[in-house]
């Protein structure tokens, strides 16, 4: 499923993360704190050194996509010299889905269902 020297499925995971961020209504006027995301939403995982930087890149790339920017994923991850970008993008998607659930007070399963039913989010979820 994961071709070498390609950002798929990582780019798909980043779009899920970006959609979750948009779904919960995060915006310039109502931002979500990114500090401590791993501790809050991925407590069972510890990233150290380069892993921490790679995870941070995936979080920031998803936020950029949500804001309308298109990061140059292939150029960025090429220097990692590994084909594990998709894993960090997946962790970012999990963290942002959990953040969206927490921010809106709904179960994670509902966030997933609504993201799956509506496609890319452009605003707050349906009540």
In this structure, is residue 4 part of a structural domain?
A: no
In this structure, is residue 106 part of a structural domain?
A: yes
DSSP 8-state symbol, 1: -
Q: What is the Cα–Cα distance from 69 to 82, expressed in whole angstroms?
A: 25
In this structure, is residue 40 part of a structural domain?
A: yes
pLDDT category, 3, cuts 50, 70, 90? low
In this structure, is residue 22 part of a structural domain?
A: yes
pLDDT digits (tens, 9 = 90+) for 99-126: 999 999 999 999 999 999 875 544 455 4
The domain tally of the chain equals 1
pLDDT category, 95, cuts 50, 70, 90? very high
In this structure, is residue 5 part of a structural domain?
A: no
In this structure, is residue 2 part of a structural domain?
A: no
In this structure, is residue 14 part of a structural domain?
A: yes
In this structure, is residue 20 part of a structural domain?
A: yes
Looking at residue 118, what is its pLDDT? 72
Instruction: State the residue range of the domain holding 103.
Output: 10-26+36-118
């Amino acid at each position: 499923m994961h071709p070498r020297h390609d950002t798929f499925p990582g780019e798909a995971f980043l779009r899920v993360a970006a959609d979750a961020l948009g779904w919960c209504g995060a915006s310039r006027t109502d931002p979500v704190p990114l500090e401590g995301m791993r501790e809050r939403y991925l407590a069972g995982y510890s990233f150290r050194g380069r892993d921490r930087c790679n995870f941070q890149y995936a979080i920031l790339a998803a936020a950029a996509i949500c804001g309308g920017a298109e990061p140059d994923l292939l150029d960025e991850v090429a220097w990692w010299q590994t084909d594990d970008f998709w894993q960090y993008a997946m962790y970012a998607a999990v963290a942002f889905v959990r953040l969206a659930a927490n921010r809106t007070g709904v179960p994670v399963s509902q966030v997933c269902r609504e993201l799956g039913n509506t496609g890319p989010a452009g605003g707050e979820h349906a009540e």
